[in-house]
Amino acid sequence: MILIDGKKAAAELRDELKKEVSSLKDKYNKVPGLTVILIGDLTPSQIYVRNKEKSANEVGLKSEVIKYPDSVEEKTVLDKIQELNQDETVSGILVQLPLPKHIDKQKVIETIDPSKDVDGFHPMNVGNLSSGYESSVPCTPLGCYLLIKKIEPNLNGKKAVIVGRSNLNGKPMTQLLLKENCTVTITHSKTKDLKEECLEADIIVAAVGIPELIKGDWVREGTIVIDVGINKIEKGIVGDVNFDEVSKVAKALTPVPGGVGPMTIACLLKNTIDCFKRSQN
């Protein structure tokens, strides 16, 4: 079984990106900039944002975090996004989710200039991705995709089963694998026989948020299994895949933590650099 080392893959990607930033600096005499907006004091969000800032600095990006209290008015945030849209030193804008209830998430996402939307959440990017045009691609599915391609560069005709239909993961993951000529099945909470579906798969991407849902006898030998889940249970942090069971049958499997997570942040840096490059053309 191949234990997919997301930490190592992310470090390699960051190395490449660092070189790229350095050559962009030589060419344009400026570096890509990432601005993250963080609202409120949720601990997981604070940790994510700190990690994003650290990684951005590591590869040489200009990085800024703008913090607001939970009580901030929606208009203040939207006005700030408009200002960042106009700011030439800002290549990418990310508003950390979740947002407080009084702030309309969709309005926030749609206010970000699609060319600076490093999350790939703007309807314009969602549409472009589904039409197969150039677009920002959400960081987590992009990270999963790069890990899958490392194991299996030719995905032609492979059967992929996506567990979970979220806008963040399941749907964009589907688009990326369709582009690679996979036959993709999207499953979800109302799917009739999830185990049978998974047993058909050459590739399983689990992103449902149900601890250890995917069991050893749901996976046939030779399947690549990508676990996007991060679930806190009594024994600690586990994914959506039963690691002990599935590691005995899968061809390759991502651990939790240390699998998809580190790639997500590296892909955010990649998206920021890609936005910068498109803005220079």
Annotation marks residue 96 as catalytic: yes
Kindly tell me which of 113 and 245 has the beta carbon lying closer to ligand GUN: 113
Minimum distance of ligand GUN from residue 225's CB (angstroms): 21
Site for ligand GUN in 200-219 (CB under 6 A): none
Kindly tell me which of 48 and 243 has the beta carbon lying closer to ligand GUN: 48
Kindly tell me which of 24 and 84 has the beta carbon lying closer to ligand GUN: 84
Minimum distance of ligand GUN from residue 50's CB (angstroms): 13
Binding mask 72-101 for ligand GUN (x = CB under 6 A): ----------------------xxxx----
Write out 18-64 in H/E/C secondary structure.
Answer: HHHHHHHHHHHCCCCEEEEEEECCCHHHHHHHHHHHHHHHHCCCEEE
Q: What angle do CA 184, 13, 246 make, to 5 degrees?
A: 45
Q: Supply 109's token pair.
A: 């996402």
Annotation marks residue 86 as catalytic: no
Kindly tell me which of 37 and 155 has the beta carbon lying closer to ligand GUN: 37
Cβ atoms < 10 Å from Cβ of 265: 21
From the list 96, 116, 158, 240, the catalytic residue is 96
When asked if residue 66 is in the footprint of ligand GUN (CB under 6 A), the reply is no
75, burial (CB in 10 Å: exposed 0-12, middle 13-18, buried 19+): exposed
d(CA 11, CA 141): 18
Minimum distance of ligand GUN from residue 200's CB (angstroms): 29
When asked if residue 184 is in the footprint of ligand GUN (CB under 6 A), the reply is no
For strands 203-206 and 231-233, give the pairing.
unpaired
Kindly tell me which of 202 and 227 has the beta carbon lying closer to ligand GUN: 227
From the list 80, 116, 117, 119, the catalytic residue is 119
d(CA 69, CA 61): 26
Least Cα distance to 201 among 223, 186, 180, 179 occurs for: 223
Q: Supply 96's token pair.
A: 């950390």
When asked if residue 119 is in the footprint of ligand GUN (CB under 6 A), the reply is yes
When asked if residue 139 is in the footprint of ligand GUN (CB under 6 A), the reply is yes
From the list 52, 80, 116, 270, the catalytic residue is 52
d(CA 225, CA 147): 10
User: Which sequence positions are flagged as catalytic?
Assistant: 52, 96, 119
> Which residues sit at the interface with ligand GUN, rule CB under 6 A?
94-97, 119, 139-140
